[in-house]
């Protein structure tokens, strides 16, 4: 019973993060937070899988490194958008502007 909870819980977290990502499209910060939530749920799933198969956990550290780089890139885009447009609404952001 407890073993199935370990596999269902990260899947539930990933589905919740995907639902928030697809439904909250007004602010860039909310979409970035939901993407980070999905990445953390994937990390939990991968950590549990590698631990149960008694593999090395080196790949989980590489995954965390790439997820931190992805988060820093998202925050830099957010700061750049707030500096140029004054807010993080997608409605005020136009792709046609240079």
The token duo for 17 is 């993060």
More confident position, 89 or 73: 73
What would be the CATH architecture of the domain defined by 2-85? Orthogonal Bundle (1.10)
For 16, the enclosing helix (H) or strand (E) is: helix 2-23
Q: What is the pLDDT of residues 11-63, one digit of tens each?
A: 899 999 999 888 877 788 888 889 999 999 999 999 888 888 888 888 888 99
The pLDDT score that the predictor gives to residue 1 is 53
The full set of domain ranges for the chain reads 2-85
pTM of the complete model beyond 0.75: yes
- The pLDDT-based confidence of 73 (bands split at 50, 70, 90) is very high
The pLDDT score that the predictor gives to residue 32 is 87
The pLDDT score that the predictor gives to residue 93 is 60
The pLDDT score that the predictor gives to residue 6 is 77
Helix extents (H) in 24-95: 28-52, 58-85
């Amino acid at each position: 019973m407890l073993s199935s909870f370990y596999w269902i819980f990260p899947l539930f977290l990933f589905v919740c993060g995907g639902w928030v990502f697809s439904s909250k499209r007004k602010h860039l910060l909310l979409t970035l937070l939901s993407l980070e939530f999905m990445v953390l749920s994937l990390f939990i799933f991968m950590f549990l899988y590698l631990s149960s198969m008694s593999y090395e956990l080196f790949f989980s550290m590489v995954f965390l490194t790439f997820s931190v780089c992805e988060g820093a890139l998202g925050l830099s885009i957010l700061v750049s958008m707030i500096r140029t447009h004054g807010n993080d609404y997608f409605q005020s952001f136009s792709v046609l502007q240079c």
